[in-house]
Amino acid sequence: MDGTISNVAAGSLAEELELAAGDKILAVNGHKLTDIIDLSFQLAEEEIELLIEHADGEREIIEFEKDIDEELGAEFSTAVFDGVRRCKNHCVFCFVDMIAPNMRKTLSVKDDDYRLSFLFGNFITLTNLTAKDFRRIKNFHLSPLFVSIHAMNPELRAKILRTPLGAKICEQLNELERAGVEYHTQVVLCKDLNDGAELDFTIAEILKRRPHALSLAIVPVGVTRHRRDKFELKQFDRDSAAKVIAQIEIFQKKSRAESGRTFVYLGDEFYFLAEKDFPPAEFYDDFPQIENGIGMTRNFIDEFDAAEILNVANKSSYESADQAVPPLLKRVDEFHSLKAQSLKLKAKIDVICGTSIAKVFERLTADMPNVRIVPVTNKFFGERINVSGLLTGGDIIDTLKTLGGTRDIILIPSTALKSGEEIFLDDVTVDELRKIFAPAKVLPIHDGAEFKRVLEGNFT
């Protein structure tokens, strides 16, 4: 059991109570805690009794009163105190089974934990839920959840998940709906397995479950060079990806006509594979599954364009009113222009990316001769893994070393880094890149607007 505090916010209630990193919260008002959901629920009371175990092993009870909406102000080393619920399935396309040996242990954890689904949007299969779990989901109204469907044909789903429990998907979704729980869904699509008519059936069945079903994402299966499973997985190529896009567009148009929402979304990889343009932003509604690679590229492009348009809009707002541009604004515009010109002439920028998105970056920087797009072939996982988020530090280093010329700035995708840390999947750190390629600046880029600002000369 672990409810260890990792950080205490300055000026917070936790600081006032003299809690510190390393302290464990074992119970609140006599209730033992299994996760931060328990903690939040119990801390909703006004009168609180905390059972604390300090880093030296000494235990202490702290009693205090608080406002109902007052937060503790403490962060924890993990969101689940009793351990992550492990997946007992053996899905034919499980990515954890396809990672390289001897990688850090956290990458080998097969989680199927409904709490992480509620808290962080992790996808779960529902096959590992107990009756007690369903009751807790209902009692705490843990909604929305994120559910991996893959197929609504019970026999096919059991085959894909390699467990007879996979065939109970309808019963399990019914259970969530009776509890008033909403859910997002996904399908990992495999050529000649759950596509074609099976995909039509899956989409139709999920559409019937609106409004409890909030969205359906369809992403292509990825296969790394480390996969040893003998079950044959076929990947999509240009023609088959285009066929999937055409198939899904029928459902999308129908859904938008019925409800005003697209509901069924395709992973960005399908558009890359088919070499087709991405739909406009409104097509993705409120981007409900952007963390799942749904609309991420469109969002990046629009952020980039919006950052570029902003300066023009600020200036034209004066000109449209038949006013002269104020001297101060004119000076600012001139400064930005000179800065950009200086950048084009002097600062050499390398933009690191996966091979799939390279053409997008080339279009965005077509008029910038100082910018070099550097698509990195994924040797670590295999060349067919072409997204930026799975690039490793080692592959980036090897690619940069083969390039001639000079560079002043190296931009790397933040999606390739561990959340909250500057470390790649192969445990190479950003600091190692900085040491190898000094004096060049190495900067993680988080979105299109930040990318645009760096190209304009803002390197801070």
What are 241-269's pLDDT values in tens digits? 999 999 999 999 999 999 999 999 999 99
Cβ distance 355 to 416 under 8 Å?
no
Per-residue model confidence (pLDDT) at position 436: 94
* pLDDT (tens digit per residue) in 333-381: 433 443 454 444 468 999 999 999 999 999 999 988 899 999 999 999 9
pLDDT of residue 458: 72
pLDDT for the residue numbered 343: 47
Task: Give the domains, in start order, of the chain with CATH numbers.
Answer: 5-76 (2.30.42.10), 96-294 (3.80.30), 323-455 (no CATH)
pTM of the model: 0.85
Q: What is the pLDDT of residue 412?
A: 95
Amino acid at 301: I
pLDDT averaged per 10 residues in sequence order, the chain, 460 residues:
87 92 92 92 90 91 89 91 90 84 71 93 94 94 97 97 96 96 97 97 97 97 88 94 97 96 96 94 95 92 79 38 37 42 66 94 91 94 90 95 89 90 92 94 92 80
Left if phi > 0, otherwise alpha if psi is -120 to 50, otherwise beta: which for 383?
A: alpha
| pLDDT score, position 309 | 52
| Euclidean distance between CA atoms 278 and 448, whole angstroms | 15
Residue 98 tokens read as: 């396809």
pLDDT value at residue 105: 67
